[in-house]
Amino acid sequence: MDRSIFQRLLITYLAIIILVIGVLAVLLTHFFNHFYFDQEQQKLLDIGEQVISQVQDCQAGKLTPDELSQTVNIAGQTSSSRIFVFEGESIQKLKGLGTELEEAKESDLLPDVQKILSGETVVKKKYYSSQLNTYVVFVGMPVTTGDSVNGMVLLFSPVARINTVLSQAYWIIWGTALIALLVGCLVIYWTSRRISHPIFAAKEAAAALAEGDFSREIPVSGSDEVDQLSASFNYMKGRIQQVEQMRHELLANVSHELRTPLASIRGFIQAILEGVIPPEEEGKYLNIVIKEVDRLTRLVQDLLDLARIRTGNIKLNKVLLDVSDLAQEVAAEFHLLAIGKKVTAAVEEDLVIKGDRDRMRQVLINLVSNAAKYTGPHGKIHIGARKVGSQAVITVEDNGTGIPEEELEYIFEKFHRVDRSRDTSTGGTGLGLAIVKELVELHKGTATAWSKPGVGTKITIEIPLCR
Ligand SMILES: Nc1ncnc2c1ncn2[C@@H]1O[C@H](COP(=O)(O)OP(=O)(O)OP(=O)(O)O)[C@@H](O)[C@H]1O
Ligand SMILES: [Mg+2]
């Protein structure tokens, strides 16, 4: 049977508390029972001792039989017990197993009397006395002179009296147990609710979250584990909300980026098909179409790269890599491309990192392409690589348009372009630096930007050197 956490906690706690209180009450009851019966028995033994010494005094002639029976009566009354003394003739009869006890309706005691007559003290905690018609504590003691038994004292104390005292003790024990149980139940009910309520709230909020409802927060009232769980849940909800927001933005950006080139491709092809463009100019427009197709291919490739990095599906083939060689190689390549800009490099030797050659090349190409894209026709681009402490520091610097200060912190974000209208002409999609940053971070490095509009831009990459 499926039970809620609340029910399980409640049942478990209740079972424990009932068990503990029950066992305690039973033990206490048992203890008091023994305690009172032991006390009663000790009391009868003490009185018995006193009576024996009186009997001995009587036998020695220090007391008259009347005085003896008087003191025995008083002892019986004050202790609420019945005391029988056998001595003189009656003890002689008993020695021959006479009828005295039968007359006293206590013939069940005959075997015990034999023991007492042989000098033993007999104690019975629960003996049914026919004469008193009730259960009694019984103590039988021999009166001795030297080695011979010449008398016997029997004491009976009714159990009913002890039971009255005991029942009061039981009331106190079981009453307290009941109150403890009730208070315990209330505390347990409250505690169980306190634990299960946030879990229930989390369950409800999670279900709402699955339906796209981000409005539910779980209340956090303290700092215990349950509160920490609630706080973590709220944090997780916030993050999911952020991711959801980013997903929406990404989708909007991607569809926008796809639509523009697709529209122009369609436009040019349609114009050619309809004969709007004269045949001699078709080549020019088809070249634009090819550029747009290239742009789309690059966009898809960049998106794939980013997605692979994000999902951890990118495989880095990390080897010992000399970034000074790589920087020089990229500088030479751009120089050869004859982009009309001056590309220089100043690198220190032996900057060995642990990295993926193709991916690090992609990083440098992205940076140098940007520098080339955002500088004028005679722009200067400088690639630097040097060692600072335990880091390889690679810089790509240009004297181009620069980036306004308020834009600097966003340029590593996906699809962020400083001036969208300007960038359409340069064909950028705003993914280059986002890929740079992710790739550098996969190499345990950092990427930062410095720029001043009208002066130039400098992107710095720091990656730990291999020791
Ligand atoms: N060297 C630079 N000088 C001036 N602005 C730059 C420079 N590098 C980047 N930027 C600005 O930062 C933006 C983001 O750069 P990023 O490389 O991510 O995108 P992109 O170059 O526009 O497109 P992509 O690289 O995806 O083709 C650019 O659009 C540009 O506005
Ligand atoms: Mg770029």
In tens digits, what is the pLDDT along the chain, a chain of 467 residues? 457 778 888 888 889 888 988 898 889 888 988 888 899 899 999 999 999 999 999 888 898 989 988 999 999 998 888 898 888 777 776 665 555 566 666 667 778 888 888 899 999 888 887 777 788 899 999 998 888 888 889 998 888 877 888 788 889 888 988 898 899 889 988 988 888 888 888 888 889 988 888 888 888 888 888 888 889 989 999 999 988 888 898 888 888 888 888 999 999 999 999 999 999 999 999 999 999 999 899 889 998 998 888 888 888 999 999 999 999 999 988 887 767 788 999 999 889 999 999 999 999 999 999 999 999 888 899 999 999 999 999 999 999 999 999 999 999 998 888 876 544 445 678 899 999 999 999 999 999 999 999 999 999 999 999 97
Residue 433 alpha carbon, nearest atom of ligand 1: 18
**Residue 299 CA, closest ligand 1 atom number:** 26
Q: Where are the beta strands (DSSP E) in 208-260?
A: none
Task: Give all domains of the chain, ordered by start, each with its CATH number.
Answer: 5-164 (3.30.450.20), 244-307 (1.10.287.130), 316-464 (3.30.565.10)
Question: Could you tell which of 365, 369, 373, 458 is best to mutate to test the pocket of ligand 1, judged by most ligand atoms within 8 Å of the CB?
Answer: 373
Ligand approaching nearest to the C-alpha of 395: 1
CA 369 to ligand 2 centroid distance, Å: 6
Q: What is the DSSP letter of 341?
A: S
Give the closest residue (by CA) to ligand 1 atom 9.
Answer: 370
pLDDT digits (tens, 9 = 90+) for 337-386: 767 788 999 999 889 999 999 999 999 999 999 999 999 888 899 999 99
The pLDDT of residue 409 is: 92
Residue 381 Cα, ligand 1 centroid: separation in angstroms? Answer: 15
> Which pLDDT score is estimated for 423?
46
Distance between Cα 374 and ligand 1 center (Å): 8
Q: Which ligand is nearest to the CA of 436?
A: 1
User: What six digits make up the tokens of 288?
Assistant: 């634009």
Q: Are 444 and 463 in contact (CB under 8 A)?
A: yes
**CB–CB of 295/423 below 8 Å?**
no
Q: Exposure string (b/e) for 393-417, b if CB count within 10 Å is 16 or more?
A: bbbbbbbbbbbeeebbeebbebbbb
Phi-psi region of 134 (alpha: psi -120 to 50; beta: other; left: phi over 0): beta
Gap from CA of 249 to ligand 2 centroid (Å): 20
Least distant ligand from the CA of 305: 1
pLDDT digit string, tens, across residues 343-356: 999 999 889 999 99
Measure Cα distances from 380 to 330, 362, 374, 386, 465 in Å: 15, 21, 11, 20, 28
Chain center to CA of 340: 64
Cα 67 to Cα 71: distance, rounded to the nearest angstrom: 6
